A and B are shown apart, each in its own frame.
Chain A
Amino acid sequence: MDPSKSQLMQYVPVLMLAVVAVLFSAGTLAASSLLGKRARRSAVKDTAYECGMLPVGEGNTRLSIKFYLVAMLFILFDIEVVFLYPWAVNFKGMIREQPGLIFGSMAGFMVVLFIGYIYALKKGAFDWKQ
C-alpha cells in the first residue's frame, strides 16, 4: 500500500469521531423534538424552577480587560510552543550535522520571548489582583 495513503488512513478514526459527534448531537435534538410533547409555555412556567435567581437585566455582562490580557499572552506563548514541536522532531537528526544552527536558532527565539516574559512579569501582567 502507498505509504502516503496509509498516513491519511490514520485520520479515518478522527473523521469517524467527527461523524459520530455530529450524528449524536443532531440525533438527540431530533429525537427530543419528535418524541417530546410540546409544552404550553407561559410567563410563570418560564421562570427559574424552584431555586436560582430570577433572570433580571442583561444576559451578557461585560468582562474585565484582564481576561483579554491573559488570553493574548496565552496565545503568544502557545505559538512559541507550536514552534517547539518541529524543533523537537528535528533535534536528534540535526544535532550531529548542524549543532550550532539547530541549537542557536531556538536559543535566539527563546531569548527574545524570554525578554517579553520578563517584561510582562515586571509589569504585573500575571498579577490578577492589580
Chain B
Amino acid sequence: MQACLFYLFAALTLLCGVLVIANPFTRNPVTSAMFLVLTIVSLAGLFVLLHAFFLAAVQILVYAGAVMVLFLFVIMLLDLKEEERRKIKAGAGVLGLAAAGGIALLMIAVIRQSNAGVGLKPASAEGSTLDLGKRLFTDYALPFELISLVLLVAMIGTVLLSKKDLK
C-alpha cells in the first residue's frame, strides 16, 4: 500500500513538474503555476510517506499557500501576451536541454556517491516535530539564527525595491 502510494506520488510529482515547464497544450503561465501547486502537493504526499509530517504540513502551508500566491502576483505583474508570443529558438532549446542534462548527471553522480539514506531508519514514530525542533534549537541554533538574517535581508530588499520611487 505504502509502496503503491510512493510510486503514485513520485509519478505525479515528475509528471506535473514536466507539465510546469513543457506543457504541450498551453503556454499560459497561470496553468504552469497550477501544475507547480500539484507538484508541491504531491511532494508533500511523499514527505508524509517518509514520516516527515511537519515538513509535509509546512510544504503545503508555505509553498502551496504563500509562495504560490507570490508567483501568481508576479505573473500578473508581467505582460503575459508578450510572453506567449515569444518563440523559443532552436539553438537556445538545444543548449538548455544540454545544460539541464548536465546538471541532472551531476546531481545523480553526487547522490550516488554520497550514500544518502544508507542505514537510515525512518524518524522515530512519535513526534517528528519534537525531534526536529530539538535538533533545531540545540545543534543547529546558529543556522537557525542566521535564517532570521536571511529573512531580514529579503524583507529590506523587497521594501527597498518596490518603494524606490517614493522619496
Contacts and interface: CB of A to CB of B under 8 A. Distances in A.
Interface stretch (B18-26, B98-106, B136-144): B136-144
Given A94-B134, A130-B166, A62 B79 contact: yes
Contact of A60 (B80, B136, B137): B80
Contacts of A73: 155, 158-159
Contacts of B53: 7, 11
Interface string A92-115: 011000100110011011101101
A107 B93 CA distance: 49
B74 interface: yes
Contacts of A24: none
Contacts of A14: 48
Interface in B112-148: 122, 125-127, 129-130, 132-134, 136-138, 141, 144-145, 147-148
Contacts, number: 153
B69 A109 contact: no
Given A86-B54, A101-B137, A112 B152 contact: yes
Dominant SS among interface residues on chain B: helix
A35 interface: no
A123 B73 contact: no
Contacts of A112: 145, 148-149, 151-152
Nearest to B151: A76
Given A69-B162, A109-B145, A85 B54 contact: yes
Given A7-B53, A86-B136, 17 more contacts: A4-B51, A4-B125, A8-B48, A8-B49, A66-B162, A68-B70, A75-B69, A82-B58, A85-B54, A87-B137, A102-B137, A113-B148, A113-B151, A113-B152, A113-B155, A116-B155, A116-B156
